[in-house]
């Protein structure tokens, strides 16, 4: 896929399809659209007047250009009301539009930059947002289907129309492609079923994906985990016939001994719940329980391309969570690699167990800042749905950077509390801590557990159990299927940490 900026007027753009983005409830067509409309003999104005197109978010009208423009088709795409316009909604709408056009067989897409975007954001941010959004439209959930009624084409060429390539906009287009490609790869991995994506397959996919990137890759095997006394990770792995792995990636962009950002991702390739077995309904969806681990890998690949001046280490403990005669029992007590003893009340709270040893490994490797990402709790999914990830922290400064990174990425985070009022929830009668507590505040309980392993270092926990997958047809604003949640946020975070030198 390639992408470029074009200063020329849209009337001269060579493409299969031209996307025209319009706000809801605007009395007249904006100036940049008027020229297109004139060439089309007033067709846009007519569909607006007839209320065939209102500009509501994701509203689409597909017009044949009949030789009146060098492009074959025009797609009118609604951005919704001006007051609700933000980088998240622009990305989601343009992504949906690009996906629609691809499914119609269009390979070369052009997007007319809306003046409304340039009034709000810097040209480079607009260029990155639009490129990223179109490229995100290339993701297709049906990679294992052998038959299809739709044309099977990829978007190959993106033109952003109406921007100069100065002021960083050309670099921004390249960055947008990099970030979208990494996101789409993660979506594909999350989409794959657990029989096609075991921990061993995960390792091989990462090896392939990071080849030639300059990232250093290391894989810890189960004998390494035993040597390092990773009793929490091993307790989860015990029930499965598939060997657990711990993937470690290193990016050395900063000074040796300088700040090191650790990205720790949950890589459960299938979560049956273990002996605390989950109900059958929707259990198939638990193939996506490695979404945090995949996001960390995707972000590392983007970081290797974008080259921020900071050191980053990624740690992805990966295993299945299965019931068997060898599986961990509720009530068992294990010792994590930082020496803390854990009473396992519920074997379905397995993510926090594998992260405990993943985070400890990052601490021992010299992490100065820790961000973990995990599809950790049904509780956060019930609170925020697929719209946002939940964030928990022990450090407001790092949390501030995460917020800024989310804005740059066009992703939503919502901070949740870890106040001292919750202290004591994970106290165990028999061990140092237990892995589950009461019925309420489930996402905070999980965060309190993880905090036991960060050694007091600046830390943010991102719970993406809701945001990693969008499965409701009622929710219009977020495209369906695996979302690639947190990939772009983490890549931007590395960049912000590099320039802020915190
Ligand atoms: N992987 C699940 C969390 C999850 C739920 C992700 C729904 C995506 C959608 C996690 O391992 C889990 O089972 N959490 C339990 C914890 C409970 C046993 C304390 C949960 O949230 O119910
Ligand atoms: Mn679970
Ligand atoms: Zn899980």
Query: pLDDT digits over 450-466, tens only?
Result: 999 999 999 999 999 99
Ligand 1 site, residue 378, Cβ cutoff 6 A: yes
Average pLDDT, the chain: 97
Atom of ligand 1 nearest to the CA of 468: 8
Calpha distance 288→291 (Å, rounded):
6
Ligand 1 site, residue 467, Cβ cutoff 6 A: no
From the CA of 436, the nearest ligand is 1
**Range 21-39 average pLDDT:** 94
Atom of ligand 1 nearest to the CA of 288: 8
Ligand 1 site, residue 289, Cβ cutoff 6 A: yes
Provide the pLDDT for residue 119: 95
Best residue among 465, 468, 470 to mutate for probing ligand 1, ranked by most atoms within 8 Å of CB: 465
Provide the pLDDT for residue 501: 66
Which residue do the tokens 């695996």 mark? 482
Catalytic-labelled residue, pool 104, 250, 278, 457:
278
Is 480 catalytic? The answer is no
Say whether pLDDT at 502 is over 80: no
Provide the pLDDT for residue 141: 92
From the CA of 378, the nearest ligand is 1
Which helix or strand (DSSP H or E) is residue 160 part of?
strand 157-161
Pair 49, 76: CB distance under 8 Å: no
Confidence of residue 10 (pLDDT cuts 50, 70, 90): confident
Provide the pLDDT for residue 347: 98
Nearest CA residue ID for atom 8, ligand 1: 465
Pair 461, 418: CB distance under 8 Å: no
Nearest CA residue ID for atom 7, ligand 1: 378
Question: How close is the Cα of 403 to the center of ligand 1, in Å?
Answer: 25
Pair 86, 122: CB distance under 8 Å: no
Question: How close is the Cα of 163 to the center of ligand 3, in Å?
Answer: 44
Q: What percent of the chain has pLDDT over 90?
A: 94
CA 134 to chain centre: 16
Where, residue-wise, is CATH 3.40.220.10 in the chain?
2-164
Question: How close is the Cα of 248 to the center of ligand 2, in Å?
Answer: 23
Is 147 catalytic? The answer is no
The angle, 0 to 180 degrees and rounded to 10, between the axes of the packed helices 123-136 and 87-103 is: 40
Closest CA to 309 of 457, 501, 174: 501
Confidence of residue 150 (pLDDT cuts 50, 70, 90): confident
Question: How close is the Cα of 350 to the center of ligand 3, in Å?
Answer: 6
Question: How close is the Cα of 278 to the center of ligand 1, in Å?
Answer: 9
Where, residue-wise, is CATH 3.40.630.10 in the chain?
187-500
Ligand 1 site, residue 210, Cβ cutoff 6 A: no
Catalytic-labelled residue, pool 102, 128, 352, 434:
352
Ligand 1 site, residue 351, Cβ cutoff 6 A: yes
Say whether pLDDT at 488 is over 60: yes
Q: What percent of the chain has pLDDT over 70?
A: 100
Ligand 1 site, residue 348, Cβ cutoff 6 A: yes
Provide the pLDDT for residue 167: 77
Q: CATH assignment of 2-164?
A: 3.40.220.10
The answer for 366, left when phi > 0, alpha when psi is -120 to 50, beta otherwise, is: left
Question: How close is the Cα of 381 to the center of ligand 1, in Å?
Answer: 9
Question: How close is the Cα of 13 to the center of ligand 3, in Å?
Answer: 48
Q: Give me 492's structure tokens.
A: 């931007």
For 112-136, write each residue's pLDDT tens digit: 999 999 999 999 999 999 999 999 9
Say whether pLDDT at 380 is over 90: yes
**Model-level pTM?**
0.97
Calpha distance 393→330 (Å, rounded):
29
**Range 159-182 average pLDDT:** 93
Atom of ligand 1 nearest to the CA of 289: 1
**Range 238-259 average pLDDT:** 97
Which residue do the tokens 């007051």 mark? 83
CB atoms within 10 A of CB 28: 9
Ligand 1 site, residue 436, Cβ cutoff 6 A: yes
Calpha distance 264→489 (Å, rounded):
14
**Range 437-451 average pLDDT:** 97
Which CATH entry fits the domain spanning 187-500: 3.40.50.2300, 3.40.50.2000, 3.30.70.20, 3.40.630.10?
Answer: 3.40.630.10
Say whether pLDDT at 413 is over 80: yes
Closest CA to 490 of 266, 264, 299, 206: 299
């Amino acid at each position: 896929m390639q992408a470029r900026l074009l200063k020329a007027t849209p009337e001269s753009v060579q493409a299969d399809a031209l996307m025209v983005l319009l706000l809801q409830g605007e009395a007249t067509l904006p100036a940049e659209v008027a020229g297109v409309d004139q060439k089309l003999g007033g067709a846009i104005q007519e569909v607006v007047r007839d209320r065939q197109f209102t500009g509501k978010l994701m509203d689409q009208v597909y017009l044949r250009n009949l030789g009146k423009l060098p492009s074959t088709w025009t797609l009118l795409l609604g951005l919704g009301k001006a007051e609700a316009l933000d980088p998240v909604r622009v990305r989601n709408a343009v992504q949906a539009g690009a996906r629609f056009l691809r499914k119609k067989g269009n390979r070369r897409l052009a997007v007319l930059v809306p003046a409304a975007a340039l009034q709000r954001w810097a040209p480079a941010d607009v260029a990155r947002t639009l490129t990223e959004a179109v490229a995100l439209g290339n993701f297709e959930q049906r990679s294992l289907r052998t038959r299809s009624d739709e044309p099977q084409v990829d978007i190959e060429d993106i033109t952003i129309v109406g921007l100069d390539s100065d002021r960083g906009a050309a670099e921004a287009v390249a960055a947008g492609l990099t970030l979208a490609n990494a996101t789409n790869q993660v979506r594909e991995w999350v989409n794959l079923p657990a029989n096609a994506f075991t921990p061993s397959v995960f390792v091989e996919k990462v090896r392939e994906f990071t080849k030639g990137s300059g990232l250093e890759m290391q894989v810890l095997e189960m004998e390494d985990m035993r040597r390092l006394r990773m009793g929490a990770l091993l307790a989860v792995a015990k029930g499965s016939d598939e060997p657990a792995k711990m993937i470690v990636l290193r990016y050395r962009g900063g000074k040796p001994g300088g700040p090191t950002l650790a990205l720790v991702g949950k890589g459960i390739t299938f979560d049956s719940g273990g002996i605390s077995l989950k109900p059958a309904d929707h259990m198939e969806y638990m193939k996506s329980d490695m979404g945090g681990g995949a996001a960390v890998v995707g972000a590392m690949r983007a970081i290797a391309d974008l080259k921020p001046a900071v050191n980053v280490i990624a740690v992805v403990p990966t295993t299945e969570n299965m019931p068997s005669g060898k599986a961990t029992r509720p009530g068992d007590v294990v010792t994590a690699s930082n020496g803390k003893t854990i009473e396992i009340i519920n074997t379905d709270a397995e993510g926090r167990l594998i992260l405990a040893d993943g985070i400890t490994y990052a601490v021992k490797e010299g992490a100065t800042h820790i961000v973990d990402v995990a599809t950790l709790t049904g509780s956060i999914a019930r609170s925020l749905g697929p719209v946002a990830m939940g964030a928990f922290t022990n450090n407001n400064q790092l949390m501030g950077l995460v917020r800024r990174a989310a804005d740059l990425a066009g992703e939503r985070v919502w901070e949740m509390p870890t106040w001292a009022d919750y202290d004591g929830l994970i106290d165990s009668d028999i061990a140092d801590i237990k892995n589950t507590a009461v019925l309420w505040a489930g996402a905070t309980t999980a965060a309190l557990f993880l905090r036991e392993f960060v050694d007091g270092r600046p830390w943010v926990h991102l719970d993406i159990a809701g945001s990693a997958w969008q499965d409701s047809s009622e929710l219009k604003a977020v495209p369906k299927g695996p979302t690639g949640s947190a990939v772009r946020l983490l890549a931007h975070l590395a960049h912000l940490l590099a320039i802020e030198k915190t």
